[in-house]
């Protein structure tokens, strides 16, 4: 969503071809039968199960965040099942991933809840929820040991047609811009491509969240439609080429890890034999581990050795106010439902324990 000066929002229109695809691939049987994108394949005596999975990421990033997993699964499935991987917006616009997954246009999705417009209350925590984590390892611990797995399963259990499978951590959130940010005042009016929840929070400091298709971000930066990105960490900015266009990186990070998940269409998932379900879950875990190592090492190396971006910092006395404002933002979200209250309380409990634990869990 793009904010105008009056506070209104403008929704960019997806390309006509994508709209036509959605129209043709909906529940109207005749249209989809004639389409080259046939309905999701089911278990057949004549061949393997075939799935189409679309990720939120473009191809350069997807080569790391999901392609190794899909290749490993296809090899280990031994001809019983094959997953076709599609990158951002290749089949459907990212904002329509949930609807397309639910109606069976696609079989599986890798994305954060907020970016794919999941109609559940916990979707606000997908992507970057301000200051909810300090390090990437915080996120899987919150899911596996502090009950977020059960809360997410509960939330998606109330929605027909979609199975939530697993959540994992990606990179921390930094802001990369063509002009420097050295104070909160420097954020005023800067148009950035970013994830929904973090953009909503940062807009209170004048940052303007703008939504464009992932593959269009580079051109939008070059033409001036965008002033920067608030979407990722250093590793991704370098990997996908945004560091070649942006000049500055804000060292203050808004949260320690992006929260992304895997989802499956319920009918497609039900038709997969148990041993292949376990294989898929195991390769998801493998993907989570791969990203932990790739991002953790990449972030440190590029901050020290990267030569494309000049580091800037908002002074501590100003940034402390941002951290304080996040507490208010957390409470606003907690008041939206009983379940969001439980998630926020979990974040508070976990972070309080980490602070008491001290080094190496928290340094300050």
Model confidence at 9, in pLDDT bands (50, 70, 90)?
A: very low
pLDDT at residue number 298:
96
Least confident range of 13-17, 253-257, 284-288, 311-315: 13-17
Angle between helices 138-145 and 148-156 (to 10 degrees): 70
pLDDT at residue number 4:
40
CATH number assigned to the domain comprising residue 325? 3.40.190.170
Report the domain count for the chain.
2
**Does 90 reside within a domain?**
yes
Q: How far apart are CA 310 and CA 12, in angstroms?
A: 31
Percentages of the chain per state (helix, strand, coil), in multiples of 5: 45, 15, 35
Model confidence at 72, in pLDDT bands (50, 70, 90)?
A: very high
Q: How far apart are CA 75 and CA 86, in angstroms?
A: 18
- Of 191, 193, 239, nearest to 217 by C-alpha is 193
Q: DSSP of 315-329, one letter per residue? A: -HHHHHHHHHHHHHH
**Does 346 reside within a domain?**
yes
Return the SS3 of 260.
strand
Which tokens in the block code for residue 279?
Answer: 């294989």
pLDDT value at 52 more than 90: yes
In this structure, the answer to whether residues 270 and 332 fall within a common structural domain is: no
In this structure, the answer to whether residues 232 and 352 fall within a common structural domain is: yes
In this structure, the answer to whether residues 23 and 112 fall within a common structural domain is: yes
In this structure, the answer to whether residues 164 and 221 fall within a common structural domain is: no
Express each pLDDT in 74-119 by its tens digit: 999 999 999 999 999 999 999 999 999 999 999 999 999 999 999 9
**Does 11 reside within a domain?**
no
pLDDT at residue number 13:
40
Element (H, E) at 72: helix 67-76
pLDDT at residue number 29:
36
85 Cβ contact list (under 8 Å, min separation 6) = 53, 55, 62, 66, 67, 70
In this structure, the answer to whether residues 322 and 231 fall within a common structural domain is: yes
Containing structural domain, residue 183: 174-256+304-357
In this structure, the answer to whether residues 353 and 278 fall within a common structural domain is: no
Percent of the chain's residues with pLDDT above 90: 85
Q: How far apart are CA 330 and CA 343, in angstroms?
A: 10
pLDDT at residue number 195:
85
In this structure, the answer to whether residues 233 and 324 fall within a common structural domain is: yes
In this structure, the answer to whether residues 229 and 185 fall within a common structural domain is: yes
Least confident range of 10-19, 46-55, 227-236, 275-284: 10-19
pLDDT value at 261 more than 60: yes
Confirm if 254 and 171 have CB atoms less than 8 A apart: no
pLDDT at residue number 263:
98
**Does 275 reside within a domain?**
yes
Q: How far apart are CA 154 and CA 123, in angstroms?
A: 13
In this structure, the answer to whether residues 203 and 273 fall within a common structural domain is: no
Confirm if 295 and 171 have CB atoms less than 8 A apart: yes
**Does 27 reside within a domain?**
yes
Kindly state the average pLDDT of the residues 52-64: 96
In this structure, the answer to whether residues 296 and 324 fall within a common structural domain is: no
In this structure, the answer to whether residues 117 and 190 fall within a common structural domain is: no
pLDDT at residue number 45:
53
Question: What pTM value is reported for the model?
Answer: 0.86
pLDDT value at 41 more than 80: no
Model confidence at 42, in pLDDT bands (50, 70, 90)?
A: very low
**Does 150 reside within a domain?**
yes
Model confidence at 173, in pLDDT bands (50, 70, 90)?
A: very high
**Does 101 reside within a domain?**
yes
Model confidence at 363, in pLDDT bands (50, 70, 90)?
A: confident
């Amino acid at each position: 969503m793009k904010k105008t000066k009056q506070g209104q929002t403008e929704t960019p229109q997806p390309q006509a071809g994508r709209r036509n695809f959605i129209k043709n691939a909906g529940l109207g049987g005749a249209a989809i039968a004639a389409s080259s994108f046939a309905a999701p394949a089911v278990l057949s005596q004549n061949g393997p199960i075939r799935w189409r999975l679309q990720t939120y990421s473009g191809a350069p990033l997807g080569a790391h965040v999901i392609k190794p997993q899909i290749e490993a699964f296809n090899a280990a499935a031994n001809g019983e099942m094959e997953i076709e991987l599609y990158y951002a917006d290749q089949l459907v616009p990212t904002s329509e991933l949930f609807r397309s997954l639910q109606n069976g246009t696609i079989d599986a999705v890798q994305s954060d809840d907020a970016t794919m417009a999941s109609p559940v209350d916990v979707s606000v925590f997908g992507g970057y929820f301000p200051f909810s984590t300090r390090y990437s390892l915080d996120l899987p611990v919150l899911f596996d040991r502090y009950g977020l797995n059960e809360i997410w399963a509960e939330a998606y259990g109330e929605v027909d047609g979609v199975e939530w499978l697993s959540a994992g951590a990606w990179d921390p959130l930094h802001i990369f811009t063509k002009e420097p940010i050295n104070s909160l005042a420097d954020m005023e009016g800067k148009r950035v491509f970013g994830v929904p929840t973090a953009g909503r929070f940062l807009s209170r400091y004048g940052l303007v969240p703008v939504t464009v298709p992932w593959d269009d971000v580079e051109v939008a930066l070059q033409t001036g439609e965008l002033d920067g990105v608030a979407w990722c960490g250093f590793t991704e900015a370098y990997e996908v080429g945004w560091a070649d266009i942006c000049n500055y990186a804000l060292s203050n990070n808004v949260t320690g890890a992006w929260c992304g998940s895997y989802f499956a269409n319920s009918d497609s998932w039900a038709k997969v034999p148990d041993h292949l379900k376990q294989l898929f879950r195991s390769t998801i875990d493998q993907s989570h581990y791969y990203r932990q190592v790739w991002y953790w090492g990449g972030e440190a190396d590029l901050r020290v050795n990267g030569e494309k971006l000049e580091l800037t910092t908002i002074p501590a006395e100003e940034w402390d106010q941002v951290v304080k404002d996040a507490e208010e933002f957390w409470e606003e979200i907690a008041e939206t439902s009983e379940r969001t209250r439980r998630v926020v309380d979990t974040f508070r409990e976990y972070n309080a324990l980490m602070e008491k634990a001290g080094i190496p869990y928290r340094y300050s």
